[in-house]
Amino acid sequence: MRIGELAERAGTTTRALRYYESRGLLPARRDAQGHRTYDERDLRLLRQIRTLKDFGFELEETRPFVECLRAGHPEGDLCPASLVVYRRKLDELDALIGELTAVRTQVGAQLARAERERAELAAEAEVPGGPEPVCELGRGGRP
């Protein structure tokens, strides 16, 4: 198949395919007229790349999976190098989850503090002579 058909079947662009070719992830075979030609194995490589990219893998991180498929394995993650990338990605995800959990905890604490202070101000406002809460944002941010 030609580059346009492969791009359409893989759900990508010809530009992306040329880029993958330049990075050595997609073979650069040519027919007698000099046109790029591809087969079902190439479509399989592209699907592996796309799946990993959808999971947040960088393009270079897909290389061991592509090489595993090229070596004739039925799945791109059956080789030791692919498993190393999976482990490294899981470590990165765990670190991100930890960071997001910490941020969530901080935002939750800020929300609880703000709600407490707002309730205290509202209670003071109900007392004769108590302060009336003023929200500058309610005036378009201008005092």
> Given this model, what pLDDT does residue 133 score?
58
| Extents of the domains making up the chain | 3-127
> Given this model, what pLDDT does residue 102 score?
97
> Given this model, what pLDDT does residue 129 score?
61
Question: What is the Rg, in whole angstroms, of the alpha carbon atoms belonging to the chain?
Answer: 28
Does the CA dihedral 61-63-64-65 come out positive or negative? positive
36 contacts 29 by C-beta, under 8 angstroms = yes
- CATH class for domain 3-127? mainly alpha
> Given this model, what pLDDT does residue 17 score?
95
For residue 37, the cross-strand partners are 29
For residue 67, the cross-strand partners are none
> pLDDT means per 10 residues in the chain (143 residues)?
94 95 92 93 94 95 96 95 97 97 97 93 74 60 52
> Given this model, what pLDDT does residue 40 score?
94
> Given this model, what pLDDT does residue 139 score?
56
> Given this model, what pLDDT does residue 100 score?
97
